Amino acid sequence: MNTTALEQLQRDVQYLKDRQEIQDCIHRHARGHDRFDVDLLTAAYHADGIDEHGASVNAGPDYADWANAVHAGGSQLCLHNITAQTCDIDGNVAHAESYVLVGLLNPDGASVRFINGRYVDRLEGSPRGSFNLDRKWTGGVMMNADGSVLSTGPGGIMWNDPDSGESGWLLQEICGKPINGVNEMWPDGTGGIFFGTCDVEMIAAARDTRPTAVYRLTQDRKVIPLDAAVYFSNGLAYDALRRRFYCNDSFRTSWVWDVRDDLTLANKRVLLDRNDCDGMTLDAEGNVLVTGFRSDGLIRRVRPDGTELPPLLTPPGATTQIRFGGADLRDVYITLVPAGSGSRVKDGSPLADPSCLYRGRSNFPGVAVDPANFDLK
């Protein structure tokens, strides 16, 4: 497939994804009506959105209370059916027209009335953009309290302001020496971060890596070494009680330390004795979830003492990172690559395997990753 055909295919796929998301948004809105679900209805609107129902005009965040009161005042139940639909997409804005048939169970509980009509919607997507296109790879991303995005990769840690387009370096040197690369980071609970250096270039070239380590970067940008005996730092996590710190040492093992009051580390020991440890996060109970680039179709879940719990199952492939989200922190976001990709990297093979982002649901909640709080400008 030539470049022109591939670009056209990408545009076609994006259009189909946009159409589906628009349809899903309108269907979720209808479902919110039927369930009198304030959160589901409100989620269909941006904070500055407006809903016009005839002479009634409501701000998007206020619409659900008005709609639920209207429906409850004239019916016991309602059922919104979206039928024919058209949609025109122009960049980040779409105009949709949807026919709707509503069945209402009257207050007497014995008769039903039907209303038909149409929704004429103007929908706006979240802005899309790209950061740091000249970087060969990105290890991890994290939010700063001012809304900027922190990202790790070759040369250190960068920041990007998605609103203004401004960008810069949060960290490029340690003790006056350039950084080979930074892989992952995790908030330290005081406005700073924990982070680990890595040497992807040497690994991809099948050569011995240069020294890597785990550090803490304080809110005032002071770099504090924590452990220099880490071969290839990867996923990091710091428990909510501030008692334990975790780090995946890819191709070797997964480590756990006790955390002192000054946030230095002590009593290093093995958490999970596997040599394919990659990404990491925590669940709400303090258990550690460890992804593995040779672990096909699962994410390991481990208690702080190393006892393994039933794993979290995934689609086929190896998971490289995991994060929880959503209002109840049960939405799971994972990045997936073909199983064994990490082994090929270590052998010096090209970084050519495609990766995919998946979202699913977990039967247990995770932890939210709090933002850092650096003064970037």
Please report, for the domain that includes residue 30, its CATH number: 3.10.450.50
Contacts 24+ apart (CB under 8 A), 71-76: 71/33, 71/36, 71/104, 72/36, 74/104, 74/106, 74/107, 75/104, 75/105, 75/106, 75/107, 76/105, 76/106, 76/107, 76/109
Residue bearing the bigger pLDDT, 136 or 86: 86
Look at residue 10 and tell me if it is in a domain: yes
Identify whether residues 91 and 152 lie together within a single domain. no
Element (H, E) at 103: strand 93-105
Identify whether residues 89 and 154 lie together within a single domain. no
Identify whether residues 30 and 59 lie together within a single domain. yes
pLDDT computed for residue 352 by the predictor: 54
Identify whether residues 283 and 157 lie together within a single domain. yes
Element (H, E) at 70: helix 60-74
The model's confidence at residue 343, banded by pLDDT at 50, 70 and 90, is low
pLDDT computed for residue 124 by the predictor: 86
Look at residue 196 and tell me if it is in a domain: yes
Identify whether residues 337 and 285 lie together within a single domain. yes
Identify whether residues 199 and 117 lie together within a single domain. no
Are the C-beta atoms of 234 and 252 separated by less than 8 Å?
Answer: no
Is 339's pLDDT higher than 80?
no
Is 237's pLDDT higher than 90?
yes
Look at residue 369 and tell me if it is in a domain: no
Reading the block at residue 282, the tokens are 């925590």
pLDDT computed for residue 353 by the predictor: 58
Query: Mean pLDDT lowest for which of 13-22, 307-316, 348-357?
Result: 348-357
pLDDT computed for residue 69 by the predictor: 93
Q: State the average pLDDT over residues 282-298.
A: 92
Residue bearing the bigger pLDDT, 8 or 80: 80
Identify whether residues 120 and 148 lie together within a single domain. no
pLDDT computed for residue 63 by the predictor: 93
Is 232's pLDDT higher than 70?
yes
Residue bearing the bigger pLDDT, 206 or 39: 39
Reading the block at residue 317, the tokens are 């492939």
Phi, psi of 91 (to 5 degrees): 65, -120
Max avg pLDDT among 202-211, 215-224, 335-344: 215-224
What is the model's pTM?
0.69
pLDDT computed for residue 171 by the predictor: 97
The model's confidence at residue 261, banded by pLDDT at 50, 70 and 90, is very high
Is 7's pLDDT higher than 90?
no
Total length of the chain:
377
The residue from 124, 156, 186 where one domain ends is 124
Q: State the average pLDDT over residues 185-204.
A: 89
pLDDT computed for residue 199 by the predictor: 80
Query: Mean pLDDT lowest for which of 49-58, 98-107, 238-247, 332-341?
Result: 332-341
pLDDT computed for residue 311 by the predictor: 93
Its domain, for residue 301, covers: 141-361
Please give the Cα distance from 224 to 259 (Å, whole number): 14
Please give the Cα distance from 96 to 26 (Å, whole number): 9
Is 138's pLDDT higher than 80?
yes
Q: How confident is the model over 291-329, as pLDDT tens digits?
A: 998 888 899 999 999 999 999 999 888 888 999 988 899
Looking at the chain, the whole-number percentage of residues with pLDDT higher than 90 is: 64
Residue bearing the bigger pLDDT, 157 or 354: 157
How many domains is the chain partitioned into structurally? 2
Look at residue 16 and tell me if it is in a domain: yes
Identify whether residues 119 and 145 lie together within a single domain. no
pLDDT computed for residue 344 by the predictor: 61
pLDDT averaged over the chain?
89
Query: Mean pLDDT lowest for which of 80-84, 271-275, 323-327?
Result: 323-327
**What does the DSSP 8-state code read for residue 92?**
T
Residue bearing the bigger pLDDT, 216 or 211: 216
